[in-house]
Amino acid sequence: MGSGKGAGTEGKRMLFETILSRLTLITSHLVLAGPGFVKDDFARFLKDRAPEIRDRILVVETRGTGRGAVQEVIGQGVLDQIVGDIQLQREVRLMEEFLLRVSKGEPVAYGVNEVSEAVSCGAAERVIVSDSVLHDPRIAEILDRAERVRAQISVLSTSFEPGMQLESLGGIAALLRYRISS
């Protein structure tokens, strides 16, 4: 479509419009990679025309195109970065869900004793634990019981804010199926 430096702006705009029409069907992260300036121009185009997509795009410089560029992107650790971003999003959502339930007075438990009781009663739907307390034998025992009662288990990294928040609450919490009496 004549998207190089010597091509007119109309050809580049048509190329960008065509690509954008296809990108609206994709809901996950996108990697925009390649040599030169076209990817950067397209990234700016997206910022103006599709802000809902722009936050999911990672722009990466490569030396070449095609399969070699894909391997180069993987070698740069871009996929690991995306996986880390996705994990952080999950952790943020979990902690937000927990805090929302607390603020609404909905059934939750936090701290070793409360979560242990909730798991024992079968009330724990999801147990959330920070990575810093996994070595604690009491926590390991709670997690074993949680698996037996089919509660989901999520481990939050204390390298990020949600894990640090959880750590300040005793390192373990649970979203409950129903309220338990203490």
Residue 36 CA to residue 181 CA, distance in Å, equals 63
Task: Assign residue 135 a region (left: φ > 0; alpha: ψ between -120 and 50; beta: otherwise).
Answer: alpha
pLDDT along the chain (182 residues), means of 10: 57 87 79 83 86 78 82 79 76 93 95 96 96 94 95 92 93 95 67
- What are the residue boundaries of the structural domains of the chain, listed by start? 9-76, 86-176
Q: Which CATH class is domain 86-176?
A: alpha beta
pTM of the model: 0.62
Compute the C-alpha angle 26/77/163, nearest 5°.
80
CATH architecture of 9-76: 2-Layer Sandwich (3.30)
Taking the CA atoms of the chain, what radius of gyration do you get in angstroms? 23
Q: Where are the alpha helices (DSSP H) in 25-120?
A: 38-49, 51-54, 66-75, 78-104, 112-120
